[in-house]
């Protein structure tokens, strides 16, 4: 069920982000969503792509520091308070969110957000129980 | 006005000095042979008896002592007296995690105060002086070395220790300090802070400064002298030998007089260990002549200099002079007066990630203060998806290094394989300071 996310360590150096994007682009891999987290010294690029396994291999072979992380893709009703409602459910259940970011694409009129939480299984079950749609890896890669 | 602390010794005729040195050398050699198993073994191994050492010409027969020998005999193995006779212990950085430990008997502390009193007198200190001692107090020999010398002179010591620059300047102004002692880079930094605070040198009573514990250039001297309106002299020393006060510049500023009644100096070829004639640059080797707790036989200082061939100095002192230090034969760095070996950092990194990581050390001087930045490659093993884990790794590395080195450092995580690989001798340090 979880979605595979590619995480890349980026030194805070001109052109690093571009070279990651180029490396996977050259291999015909398409980016579905991404986020960049940065500190003064380094950044972390998180990517959802259509073929995570190959993206991982490609980046690794080009000497990037890459890690595969599991996240969940949650369909968020696209109206005011939509995200707040989902977050409230997680808070009530005591699920701690490490980070989240949004997809550009909409899915059947809803927004799509990527959540990284401590306990993925628990969070997934919670969403399903509460009638919130969670997308599988296959569904996300095929977007 | 040139004045001496101990004119009889400082201006002693060379022949008389030589007699004194030879007598003390023979005494030292037989004492280490009797009391220090390390030296006894070293002598026995080459079939040398203390009686073989009769004059200074025999010095070259003696084996060398290295910093590693201190490490191998950590902490007290090279002491020549029982610990009951030791009244002070200092330590400096070793080449690995363990410090280099040195000890002093009551008489050693007296000798040290004596050579420091002579050194301070060179920059004009007397019993009316107010000596602001901004060398760090503690295990580092700088602070207490100056302190005891200044007290012996009878000057008023202001034991402010290092740091708190604005307070230093306030005290300097309010207390009317006449002599400043610290590292040369800190002296320059203080002059910057003065400017920031709008304090001019005319508001201070400074007359002289004794600066050391790190190499500095003549340009830096001129700068300090102009900015502070003082005479700035170079003091040399190392804890293994005694601490500051092994050699000092006189106001003539043509080299540093080694206090030869206490320390015997030679210059050797760092590769072959052969003695080099006066005038040739090489490694300074020192044999202590009066040290009781930790006598040193032909200690390899790793400092590069030369003996100034011209005997006699217009200041009247007869003790031989060495040139200002030119560099090191090893990779030791001096950061804000603290000795740093890349191997210490390497060991910390090794212990943290359980693998031998690649790293680079960058040294810069910003605002006259040395900064040390360690670049560490992130391995796949330690790389995390979460920023806070990486940041805590950065913090952990920084803290561990700071514990070992005792100075603040910056740590920067960089991409794997981004640090150059070396075949053979690696270059792990980029020193971007312009001295």
Q: Where in chain B is the domain with CATH 3.30.300.30?
A: 335-431
Give the full edge-to-edge strand order of the sheet including B369-377: B410-414, B369-377, B359-366, B429-431
Taking residue B204's Cβ as centre, other Cβ atoms within 10 Å add up to 19
pLDDT of residue B317: 97
Do B336 and B364 form a contact (C-beta atoms < 8 A)? no
Confidence grade of residue B357 (pLDDT, cut at 50, 70, 90):
low
List the single residue in A with minimal CA-CA distance to B390: A42
Q: CA of B389 to nearest chain A CA: how many angstroms apart?
A: 11
% of chain B surpassing 70 pLDDT: 96
CATH class of the domain at B7-330: alpha beta
ipTM confidence: 0.70
> How does pLDDT run across B89-142, given as a tens digit for each residue?
999 876 666 889 999 999 999 999 999 999 999 999 999 999 999 999 999 999
Q: Cα separation of B91 and B173, whole Å? A: 33
Q: Cα separation of B346 and B64, whole Å? A: 27
pLDDT of residue A119: 87
Domain of A65, CATH number, reads 3.30.2130.10
Q: CA of A109 to nearest chain B CA: how many angstroms apart?
A: 30
CA distances from B185 to A23, B172, B215, B325, B388 (A): 47, 17, 9, 16, 36
Say if the Cβ atoms of B387 and A44 lie within 8 Å: yes
Lowest mean pLDDT among B164-168, B389-393, B415-419: B415-419
Nearest neighbour of B385 by CB, restricted to A41, A63, A67: A67
> How does pLDDT run across B251-261, given as a tens digit for each residue?
999 999 999 99
For residue B5 the two structure tokens come to 């602390």
As a whole number, the mean pLDDT across chain B is 91
**Do A45 and A11 belong to one domain?**
yes
Residue that the structure tokens 């072959």 belong to: B272
Residue to mutate among B415, B418, B420, with most A CBs inside 10 A, is: B415
pLDDT of residue B293: 98
Lowest mean pLDDT among B12-16, B208-212, B304-308, B337-341: B337-341
Domain tally, chain A: 2
Phi, psi of A125 (to 5 degrees): -60, -40
Do B417 and B395 form a contact (C-beta atoms < 8 A)? no
Instruction: Tell me the mean pLDDT per 10 residues along chain A, length 143.
Output: 89 85 93 87 90 94 89 91 93 91 82 89 91 90 85
Taking residue A75's Cβ as centre, other Cβ atoms within 10 Å add up to 22
> How does pLDDT run across A53-73, given as a tens digit for each residue?
999 999 989 888 899 999 999
**Cα-Cα end-to-end distance for chain B:** 30
Q: Is the pLDDT of residue B332 over 60?
A: yes
Q: Where in chain B is the domain with CATH 3.40.50.12780?
A: 7-330
Contacts of B413 in chain A (CB under 8 A): 9, 11, 41-42
**Do A137 and A95 belong to one domain?**
yes
Q: Cα separation of B378 and B358, whole Å? A: 9
Evaluated on CA atoms B101, B105, B111, B117, the torsion sign reads: positive
**Do A118 and A102 belong to one domain?**
yes
Lowest mean pLDDT among A125-129, B103-107, B170-174, B200-204: A125-129
List the single residue in A with minimal CA-CA distance to B386: A98
Summarize the confidence of residues B260-288 as an average pLDDT.
96
Cβ contacts below 8 Å, chain A against chain B, sum to 48
Among residues 75-94 of chain A, which lie with CB inside 8 Å of chain B? none
Interchain contact A41–B (C-beta under 8 A): yes
Say if the Cβ atoms of B383 and A37 lie within 8 Å: no
List the single residue in A with minimal CA-CA distance to B384: A67
**Do A98 and A133 belong to one domain?**
yes
Say if the Cβ atoms of A39 and B387 lie within 8 Å: yes
pLDDT of residue B1: 44
Say if the Cβ atoms of A39 and B414 lie within 8 Å: no
**Do A48 and A102 belong to one domain?**
no
Q: Is the pLDDT of residue B244 over 80?
A: yes
Q: Indicate the SS3 state at residue B264.
A: strand
List the single residue in B with minimal CA-CA distance to A43: B387
Q: CA of B421 to nearest chain A CA: how many angstroms apart?
A: 14
Q: Is the pLDDT of residue B354 over 70?
A: no
Domain holding A125, by residue range, is 71-141
List the single residue in B with minimal CA-CA distance to A40: B412
Interchain contact A37–B (C-beta under 8 A): yes
**Which among B417, B407, B411 is positioned nearest to B352, based on CA atoms?**
B411
Interchain contact B391–A (C-beta under 8 A): yes
CA distances from B18 to B55, B267, B276, B318, B327 (A): 9, 17, 19, 11, 29
Q: CA of B22 to nearest chain A CA: how many angstroms apart?
A: 59
Say if the Cβ atoms of B387 and A64 lie within 8 Å: no
Biggest alpha carbon distance in chain A?
Answer: 45
**Do A25 and A57 belong to one domain?**
yes
Say if the Cβ atoms of A39 and B391 lie within 8 Å: yes
Nearest neighbour of B416 by CB, restricted to A65, A67, A116: A65
Do B97 and B344 form a contact (C-beta atoms < 8 A)? yes
pTM for this structure? Answer: 0.73
The residue from A70, A100, A118 where one domain ends is A70
Residue to mutate among A5, A42, A47, with most B CBs inside 10 A, is: A42
Q: CA of B379 to nearest chain A CA: how many angstroms apart?
A: 7
Say if the Cβ atoms of B384 and A67 lie within 8 Å: yes
pLDDT of residue B430: 87
| B335-431 homologous superfamily | ANL, C-terminal domain (3.30.300.30)
Q: Which residues contact B23 (CB under 8 A, 6 or more apart)?
A: none
Q: CA of A36 to nearest chain B CA: how many angstroms apart?
A: 11
């Amino acid at each position: 069920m979880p979605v595979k996310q590619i995480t890349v360590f980026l030194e805070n150096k001109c052109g690093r982000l571009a070279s990651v994007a180029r490396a996977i682009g050259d291999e015909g891999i398409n980016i579905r969503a991404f986020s960049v987290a940065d500190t003064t010294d380094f950044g972390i690029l998180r990517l959802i792509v259509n073929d995570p396994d190959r993206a991982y291999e490609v980046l690794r072979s080009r000497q990037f520091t890459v890690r595969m992380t599991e996240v969940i893709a949650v369909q968020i009703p696209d109206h005011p308070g939509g995200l707040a409602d989902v977050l409230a459910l997680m808070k009530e259940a005591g699920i701690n969110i490490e980070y989240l970011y949004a997809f550009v694409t909409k899915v059947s009129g809803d927004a799509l957000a990527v959540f990284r939480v401590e306990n993925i299984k628990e969070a997934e079950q919670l969403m399903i129980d509460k009638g919130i749609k969670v997308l599988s890896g296959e569904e996300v890669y095929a977007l | 006005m040139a004045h001496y602390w101990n004119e009889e010794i400082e201006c002693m005729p060379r022949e008389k000095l030589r007699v004194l040195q030879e007598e003390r050398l023979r005494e030292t050699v037989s004492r280490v042979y009797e009391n220090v198993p390390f030296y006894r073994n070293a002598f026995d191994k080459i079939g040398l008896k203390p009686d073989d050492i009769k004059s200074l010409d025999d010095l070259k027969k003696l084996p060398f002592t290295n910093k590693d020998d201190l490490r191998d005999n950590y902490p007290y193995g090279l002491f020549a007296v029982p610990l009951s006779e030791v009244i002070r212990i200092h330590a400096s950085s070793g080449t690995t995690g363990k410090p280099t430990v040195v000890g002093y008997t009551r008489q050693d502390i007296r000798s040290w105060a004596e050579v420091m009193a002579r050194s301070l007198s060179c920059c004009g200190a007397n019993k009316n002086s107010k000596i602001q001692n901004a060398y760090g107090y503690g295990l580092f020999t700088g602070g207490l070395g100056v302190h005891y010398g200044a007290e012996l002179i009878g000057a008023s010591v202001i034991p402010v220790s290092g740091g708190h620059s604005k307070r230093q300047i306030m005290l300097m102004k309010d207390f009317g300090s006449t002599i400043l002692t610290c590292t040369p880079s800190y002296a320059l930094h203080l002059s910057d802070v003065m400017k920031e605070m709008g304090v001019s040198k005319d508001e201070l009573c400074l007359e002289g400064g004794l600066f050391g514990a790190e190499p500095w250039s003549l340009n830096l001297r001129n700068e300090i002298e102009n900015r502070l309106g003082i005479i700035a002299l170079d003091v040399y020393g190392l804890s293994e030998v005694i601490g500051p006060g092994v050699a000092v510049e006189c106001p003539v500023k043509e080299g540093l007089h080694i206090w030869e009644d206490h320390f015997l100096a030679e210059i050797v070829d760092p590769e072959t260990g052969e003695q080099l004639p006066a005038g040739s640059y090489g490694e300074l080797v020192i044999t202590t002549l009066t040290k009781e707790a930790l006598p040193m036989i032909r200690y390899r200082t790793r400092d590069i200099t030369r003996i100034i061939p011209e005997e006699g100095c217009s200041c009247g002192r007869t003790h031989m002079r060495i040139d200002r230090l030119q560099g090191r034969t090893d990779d030791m760095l001096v950061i804000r007066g603290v000795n740093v070996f890349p191997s210490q950092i390497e060991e910390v990194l090794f212990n943290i990630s359980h693998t031998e990581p690649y790293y680079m050390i960058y040294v810069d001087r910003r605002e006259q203060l040395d900064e040390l930045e360690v670049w560490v490659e992130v391995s796949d093993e330690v790389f995390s998806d979460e920023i806070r884990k990486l940041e805590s790794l950065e913090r952990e590395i920084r803290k561990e290094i700071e514990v070992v080195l005792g100075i603040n450092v910056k740590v920067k995580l960089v991409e794997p394989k981004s640090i150059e690989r070396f075949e053979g001798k690696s270059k792990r340090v980029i020193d971007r300071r312009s001295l």
